[in-house]
Structure 1
Amino acid sequence: MSHLNDMALFVEVARARSFRKAAEALGMPNSTLSRRISELEKAIGLRLLHRTTRKIELTEAGQLYFERSKRIVDEARLAHEQLGAMLEQPSGVLRVSLPVDLATFYLTPIIGEFARHYPGITFEFDLTPRRVDLVAEPFDLAIRIGKLEDSSLITRLIGRHSRHLYASPGHIEASGEPARPADLAKHECIGMLRSPIWTLHRGANKVDVAVRGRFTLNSVGMIRALAVNHQGIALLPEKIIADDLSSGRLRRILPEWQGSPVNIYAVTETRLIPAKTQRFIEFLSSRLMEV
């Protein structure tokens, strides 16, 4: 890279036929520019310039070196400009594995906004519960929620769910309202599979409650629907039930307490990702970190 930079400096001097004019155009001291060209001549073992007090002329070797250097420098600049344009407006197919509930309740409007910003990108989304193999399958990235398994994959935290307790007015009327977290053990609670313990926080206080209920499942959307239909108390992110809350279909209970936040991650096979993937991750992070 240093040699290419010195080559670019030489091209500017050769074009200007003046160290002073080239130094002014480059925004660097004349003495520094002269020293760099002298070092370049020593490095390649050729005298490139005839220097006099009045003017600079190219030697025969300097003329050949100028023509070669000009072509290389111009190609490098063009490649840099093309890369910059590609980074500004990335294109291609973006293949992403997404959790069904996150995609349905959060990401659809965010992805629509992203698509308007980057019209050159097309999308292929896999909305299944399975953990795709980012090494063996042709995905650019996966969005995952909750605790991640140890692996060699690259993970980046891009968002966080805050969760609260909700129940329908009908359920509260029929079963009563818990007054403290321990009361949840006596109520019908709608839980996630393999998560029988709800950890609740109030400031510095933390309590674990073993919940029970007739329904345990792996769909946040269905947990919400069951709660709306008076089947029990649910621990859910507020944005998922915002419409139900404003319409009165659900009420927040134990409002001083909240559940442990759930992290949202972008997972890639490598840190060396294309611009389309990098922009998508950055865009999601800018929106989901506000959750």
Structure 2
Amino acid sequence: MELLNDMALFVEVVKAKGFRGASEATGVPNSTLSRRISALEKAIGLRLLHRTTRKVELTEAGQIYFERCKRIVDEARLAHEQLGEMLAQPSGVLRASLPVDFAVIYMAPLIVEFAERYPGITFDFDLTPRQVDLVSEPFDVAIRMGEPESSHLIARPLASLVPHLYASPRYLQRSGEPEKPADLERHECLNIIKANAWTLHRGTESTQVATSSRFKLNSVGLIRRLATLSMGIMLVPEAIVADDLAAGRLVRLLPDWHGKPMPVYALTETRLLPAKTQRFIEFFRERLA
């Protein structure tokens, strides 16, 4: 890389017909230019320039070397420009594993926006709650909610979503509105399978509430749907129910209290990512934040 830089400086000196003009064009001081060209001549064992007080002239060997250097430098600059264009408009198939409900409810409109921004990318999405194996399966990235289970993957935080309590107006009319966390114990609390309690926080204060329901569920999407159908109270991030809140199908309860923040991560096998994957992660980090 240093040799290529010196070759580029040599080309600029020749094109400017002197160190002063090259210094103005590159921003490199005269003394530095002179030292770098001398080092280049020493490295290749050829005198490239005749130096006078007013100008520099190419030697015969310098003329041959200049033509070769110019071709190499021009090719390097073109490659750099093409790389910049590739990074600006990445292409190819993006294979991603996404959490089912979060992808359908919240990520879908963001995916549309991303696809419109990068028309060269095509998508292969696998919606699954399982922890895919990014080493043996052909995924570029996996989006997951909750703390990563594997320490062998590169986890990039995208957001931290804070869960709140929600229910439908009809459910509250029928069952009453809780005024404090303890009141939730007499309500239908729509919860994920194996979770039988909610830990709620208010500032530095926290409390645990036992939850019970007639339904045992493993789908946030179904929990949300049952809540809009007045079957109970749920504890989810606002992003999941934004449309229902705007339409009045759900209202927020105990607004001073919230659940434990839920991290969202982009998981990859390596830190060396193609442009399509980099842009996907950067886009969702920006939007989810």
TM-score range, shorter chain: over 0.9
Distance in 1 separating the partners of 2:275 and 2:127 = 23
CA distances 1:180-229 after superposition (whole Å, capped 9, x unpaired): 21222232211012332311111221112221222232211100111122
Residue pairs, 1:40-59, within 5 angstroms: 40-59=40-59
CA–CA separation in structure 2 for the residues paired with 1:266 and 1:60:
58
Alignment of 1:19-38 (within 5 A): 19-38=19-38
Other-structure match for 1:277: 277
> Whole-Å Cα distance in 2 between the matches of residues 3 and 178 of structure 1?
73
**Aligned residue number for residue 258 of structure 2:** 258
Match of 1:216, SS state, is coil
Tell me the CA shift for residue 45 of structure 1. Answer: 2.7
Q: Compared with structure 1, are the counterparts of its residues 168 and 55 closer, same or farther at alpha carbon in structure 2 (3 Å cutoff)?
A: closer
Aligned residue identity for 1:146: G
Structural mapping, 1:5-84, within 5 Å:
5-84=5-84
TM-score (norm 2): 0.94
Per-residue Cα deviation, 1:228-254 (whole angstroms, up to 9, x for no partner): 222221112223223333443323222
Question: How many Å apart are 1:100 and its aligned residue?
Answer: 1.2
Give the Cα separation in 1 of the matches to 2:120 and 2:131.
28
Report the counterpart of residue 206 of structure 2 in structure 1.
206
Q: Which has the larger displacement, 219-228 or 19-28?
A: 19-28
The one-letter amino acid of 2:158's match is I
Question: RMSD between aligned alpha carbons?
Answer: 1.7
Instruction: Write the mapping of 1:81-160 to structure 2, written as runs, cut at 5 A.
Output: 81-160=81-160
2:218 corresponds to which residue? Answer: 218
Deviation at 1:271, TM superposition (A): 0.7
Q: Equivalents in 2 of 1:243, 1:21: separation in Å?
A: 63
> Residue 257 of structure 1: CA displacement?
0.8
1:81-130 deviations in Å (ceiling 9; x for gaps): 00011111111111111111111111111111111111111111111222
- Alignment partner of 2:261: what SS? strand
The structure-2 alpha-carbon separation of the partners of 1:29 and 1:246, relative to structure 1 and needing over 3 Å to count, comes to: closer
Distance 2:213 2:228 in 1: 15
Aligned residue pair count:
289
Change (3 A) 1:251 1:25: closer
Distance in 2 separating the partners of 1:246 and 1:60: 78
Aligned to 1:245: 245
% identical aligned pairs: 67
Q: Partner of 1:170 in structure 2?
A: 170
Please, which runs of 5 or more residues in structure 2 have no aligned partner?
A: none
Residue type at the aligned position of 2:11 = V
Deviations 1:147-171 (A, max 9, x none): 2103211111112222111122333
Structure-2 separation of matches of 1:250 and 1:15: 71
For structure 1, the residue ranges without an aligned partner over 5 or more in a row are: none
Secondary structure at the counterpart of residue 260 of structure 1: coil
Query: What is the match of residue 190 of structure 1?
Result: 190
Q: Give the Cα–Cα distance (whole angstroms) in 2 for the partners of residues 142 and 41 of structure 1.
A: 52
Alignment-derived partner of residue 268 in structure 1: 268
For 1:54 and 1:158, locate their aligned partners in 2 and report how far apart those are by CA, in whole Å.
59
1:163 and 1:227 mapped to 2: Cα distance? Answer: 15
Q: How far apart in 1 are the matches of 2:140 and 2:131?
A: 14
1:230 aligns with: 230
Cα distance, 1:145 vs structure 2? 0.6
> Quick one: distance in 1 between partners of 2:186 and 2:203?
24
